[in-house]
Structure 1
């Protein structure tokens, strides 16, 4: 684990511990730290921005209300993303978008991958980038969501498995199949894995 990542985990651990002890400042810092990530992920699962914001507010309200009973050792970012996903699934159920189900696997992943314009140096490259975006966005929803969680949000395979409510092997298969499909179809000169691991995708 890198020094930066260790510090990030340590910071989250301290903030989470302080929050559990009723420290409002730590609660606010965690909200500010992860709000944008939660908004982006929530918007990928629900097309109604106001409802996504409400779900995130509800998640943090519950965290504060039930802070004394929260687990001590959690990966805060993974916990928050999972909580938002479950809240949106319940919202769908309540609004009768999906009838008689509480499973989070009914959620459609709506996120569109795109590569930053800064990488596009000429018309040919631009065309290849558009094609790569298309390949990514044509992947099955679960594969696309797994790639998003792995490379956009930096979650481990174990955390992705827990968030998607599948076993480790299933989560690993989603990532493997997604990358395999991309490698099979991608013909561009931009190294695919470099783009993915740089966080551009």
Structure 2
């Protein structure tokens, strides 16, 4: 169950980040390889144009390398990268004007569809429940759904979600709370079991 980023992972990322700032190409490549897939997947949650998303991710890394000497020393690397991709896609959408909506970072729509593989669950009752959970998750407001994605799919802590979404800690916590509350209204006591199942399957 992915909830918290391990301290060792955070420390390793910071070491790579520090070396990158000093011009270490190997450290840069390691961060790129480590997070590229996650960043593309996250970017695809805002745009169906995978090639454009890949370009945005590559642009983020290009800027990081070019401006490495001016980067902050103490950052949560994964949250920083996710936030950078989010902002890049928002600017890209605004510039191209070929996307159906877009203006600011806050306005871009989170398009990710949760899909817990209920067909892999042998118990018919549980399978039916998971199918309904999929629907409930995907019917949540986009911002709440994005917060849940970052928490349970990307394994970010609340403070890291806040940094990614560029909101304060309380706002990020409120998004998660309201999302869980909305699910609990429909599922009451079973929601804890289903969320546990959801995170383990993802």
- Is TM (by shorter chain) over 0.5? yes
TM-score of the superposition, structure 1-length normalised?
0.89
Superposed CA deviations along residues 10-68 of structure 1, whole A, max 9, x for unmatched, are 11011111111111111111001011110110000111000000000000000111111
Q: Give the gaps of 5 or more residues in structure 1.
A: none
Specify which structure has the bigger relative contact order, considering alpha-carbon pairs within 8 angstroms and separated by 6 or more residues.
2
Tell which deviates more after alignment, 133-142 or 162-171.
162-171
Q: Identify the residue that residue 21 of structure 1 maps to in structure 2.
A: 22
| Offset, 1:140 | 0.5
Q: Matched residue pairs, number?
A: 196
Secondary structure of 1:186 counterpart: helix
TM-score of the superposition, structure 2-length normalised?
0.88
Contact 1:152 1:199 (8 Å CA) reproduced: no
Q: Give the gaps of 5 or more residues in structure 2.
A: none
| Offset, 1:167 | 2.5
Instruction: Give, in whole Å, the separation in 1 of the partners of 2:121 and 2:100.
Output: 41
Secondary structure of 2:172 counterpart: helix
Secondary structure of 1:108 counterpart: coil
Secondary structure of 1:74 counterpart: coil
| Offset, 1:98 | 7.5
| Cα separation, partners in 2 of 1:14 and 1:139, compared to 1, 3 Å | same
Instruction: Give, in whole Å, the separation in 2 of the partners of 1:173 and 1:184.
Output: 16
Contact 2:39 2:81 (8 Å CA) reproduced: yes
Instruction: Give, in whole Å, the separation in 2 of the partners of 1:152 and 1:99.
Output: 25
Instruction: Give, in whole Å, the separation in 1 of the partners of 2:46 and 2:102.
Output: 19
Matches within 5 A, 1:39-54: 39-54=40-55
Q: 2:194 aligns with which of 186, 192, 198?
A: 192
| Offset, 1:164 | 1.8
